[in-house]
């Protein structure tokens, strides 16, 4: 098989890269750290985006679009936010190229076209958006503002990986404005729940909802809520964040409103985002050594049909039958592809669609046709069985539902088996190195200890789970008193 990829056991990291390339999700580009999202990967992203977009709209949000560039003076207005992103910003300094007098046919930056004020390519849009909201908000009647933006952002990263960490990525960023602290916190939590719902029920990846420690908080936030997922190699991945921004941005941009009593106050804010990084999470949560495994709800194709035939006569008999199956499946809202290309043999196609993670494969040959059956193969379990053409739409719908559930169950069982309470430093290091996964350990609550643990083990506090049970104990590192366990892990 020309498409074979490195196995997970051999080299998990290489397996991931091989898979992303060979399943044609993405490609490297000529721009350092930037990727090309290939049509198959983009079709997956479109399905994810459309599902999320509907959830945002169902919770009262509308979309808008704000400029790609942030003037430096706005960028630096909220100091913590600026400090957090300053080191990874692409900066536009000029607005024109000109012919290079010393190199025929080449261009150079025109030194006379230097901008008076540099423009930051947005790493996130709080600054430009809050500078705009200032003009939109005067009274409590203008609130809440519930706006989302689908956009590209740029964060200059030194070490990049397809989907997981790229200099440019696609995401959505919600930016909301509220009259009260309570309402803003409610919104922050609502969107965390929307993310958890999406990641679990569409991507079939179970998540733990929690809050970040101050060390891991979004720059400029008062509280960062997150959902944390576990990959098959036992490393955690932050799948989405929802920030309660307090009045920080309102103060930085002087955004006040008059309340019902005509009293002026600063506006309360939230922001929340998920990105194409989720595709990386999806790949690493479900896939195997034969390629991608996609949950039916977001798979570009849910079913692929491959004909097996000799000669034109068999082919046209199969075509006729398949066309009616395709029609019935499409009418039932199932995304189906009939691959009757004559440029590849059935075996090659089987491998190809396994690599691409299509949930169900139907193979149909001349003898099957006579008997009124097809072969149905599940990508997740590799089970094959013969099913009757009669009632096949119902069978396929049931199988797709079963696959969606099975992927979530399998990932949840793996995740649950990899949350390990530990009570000593030796155990802590041992679990991290051998069993991997989340380590539930007591922590004395200080940033210093968190930093020291990260320094020693590369593990960070992924989150303090919501509704975390109180449990008195002593910190695994310092032995100081602790009121609860928190979840540590090595992470992407």
Binding site for a copy of itself (CB under 8 A): 27, 29-31, 34-39, 41-43, 45-46, 62-72, 74-76, 79, 82, 86-99, 105-107, 109, 118-121, 128, 131-132, 135, 141, 147, 151-152, 154, 156, 168, 170, 343
Q: How far is the CB of 3 from a copy of itself (least distance, A)?
A: 16
Give least dist CB 38 to a copy of itself, A: 6
Shortest Cβ 273–a copy of itself spacing (Å): 17
- 143 in Cβ contact with 124 (< 8 Å): no
* Cβ nearer to a copy of itself, comparing 220 with 437: 220
What tokens appear for 121 in the block? 């390519």
Nearest-angstrom CA–CA distance, 286 and 130: 39
Q: Compare residues 149 and 287 and give the one whose CB is closer to a copy of itself.
A: 149
Q: Nearer to a copy of itself by C-beta: 55 or 68?
A: 68
Find the distance separating the first CA and the last CA of the chain, reported in whole Å: 31
- In angstroms, give the least distance from the CB of 87 to a copy of itself: 5
Candidates 262, 277, 250, 216; CA nearest to 25 is 277
Strands 236-246 and 223-230: antiparallel
What is the Cα–Cα distance from 258 to 266, expressed in whole angstroms? 9
**φ, ψ for residue 221 (rounded to 5)?**
-95, 155
Between CA 375 and CA 65 the distance in angstroms is: 48
Cβ of residue 97: shortest distance to a copy of itself, in angstroms? Answer: 4
Tell the smallest beta-carbon distance from residue 37 to a copy of itself (Å).
4
Which residues lie closer than 8 Å to 469 by C-beta, 6 or more apart? Answer: 484
Choice between 24 and 427, CB closer to a copy of itself: 24
**For residues 29 and 420, which CB has a smaller minimum distance to a copy of itself in the complex?**
29
Cβ closer to a copy of itself: 35 or 208?
35
Q: How far apart are CA 46 and CA 279, in angstroms?
A: 11
Contacting residues for 44 by C-beta, under 8 A, at least 6 apart: 25, 279, 282, 294, 298, 299, 300
The token pair at 457 is 């083990």
Residue closer to a copy of itself, measured from CB, 73 or 371: 73
What's the min distance (Å) between Cβ of 28 and a copy of itself? 9
Task: Kindly give the residue spans of alpha helices, DSSP state H, lying in 418-465.
Answer: 425-430, 447-457
């Amino acid at each position: 098989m020309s498409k074979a990829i490195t196995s997970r056991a051999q080299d998990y990291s290489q397996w991931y890269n091989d898979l992303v390339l060979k399943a044609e999700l993405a490609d490297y580009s000529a721009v350092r750290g930037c990727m090309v999202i290939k049509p198959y990967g983009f079709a997956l992203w479109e399905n994810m985006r459309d599902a999320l977009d509907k959830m945002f709209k169902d919770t009262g949000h509308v979309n808008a679009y704000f400029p790609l560039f942030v003037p430096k003076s706005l960028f630096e207005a909220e100091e913590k936010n600026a400090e957090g992103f300053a080191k990874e910003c692409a900066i536009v300094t000029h607005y024109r190229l000109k012919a290079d007098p010393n190199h025929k046919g080449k261009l150079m930056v025109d030194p006379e076209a230097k901008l008076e004020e540099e423009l930051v390519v947005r790493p996130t849009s709080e600054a430009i958006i809050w500078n705009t909201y200032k003009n939109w908000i005067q009274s409590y009647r203008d609130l809440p503002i519930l706006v989302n933006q689908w956009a590209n952002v740029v964060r200059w990263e030194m070490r990049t990986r397809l989907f997981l960490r790229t200099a440019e990525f696609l995401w959505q960023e919600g930016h909301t404005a509220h009259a009260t602290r309570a309402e803003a916190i409610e919104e922050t939590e609502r969107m965390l729940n929307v993310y958890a719902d999406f990641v679990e029920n569409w991507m079939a990846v179970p998540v733990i909802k929690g809050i970040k420690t101050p060390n891991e908080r979004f720059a400029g936030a008062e509280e960062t809520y997150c959902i944390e997922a576990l990959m098959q190699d036992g490393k955690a991945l932050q799948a989405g964040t929802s920030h309660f921004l307090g009045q920080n941005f309102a103060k930085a941009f002087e955004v006040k409103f008059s309340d019902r009593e005509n009293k002026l106050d600063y506006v309360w804010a939230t922001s929340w985002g998920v990105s194409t990084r989720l595709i990386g999470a999806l790949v690493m949560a479900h896939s195997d050594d034969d390629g991608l495994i996609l949950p039916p709800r977001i798979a570009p194709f849910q079913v692929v049909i491959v004909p097996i035939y000799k000669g034109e006569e068999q082919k046209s008999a199969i075509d006729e039958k398949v066309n009616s199956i395709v029609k019935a499946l499409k009418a039932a809202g199932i995304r189906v592809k009939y691959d009757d290309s004559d440029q590849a043999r059935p075996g090659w196609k089987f491998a190809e669609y396994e690599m691409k993670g299509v949930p169900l494969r139907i193979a149909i040959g001349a003898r099957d046709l006579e008997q009124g059956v097809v072969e149905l193969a599940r990508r997740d379990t590799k089970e094959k069985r013969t099913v009757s053409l009669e009632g096949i739409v119902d069978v396929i719908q049931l199988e797709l539902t079963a696959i969606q559930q099975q992927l979530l169950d399998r990932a949840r069982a793996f995740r649950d088996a990899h949350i390990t309470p530990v009570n000593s430093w030796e155990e802590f290091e041992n679990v991290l190195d051998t069993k991997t996964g989340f380590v539930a350990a007591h922590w004395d609550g200080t940033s210093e200890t968190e930093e020291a643990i990260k320094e020693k083990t590369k593990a960070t506090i992924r989150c303090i789970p919501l509704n975390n049970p109180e449990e008195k104990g002593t910190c695994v590192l310092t032995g100081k008193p602790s009121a609860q366990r928190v979840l540590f892990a090595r992470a992407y």
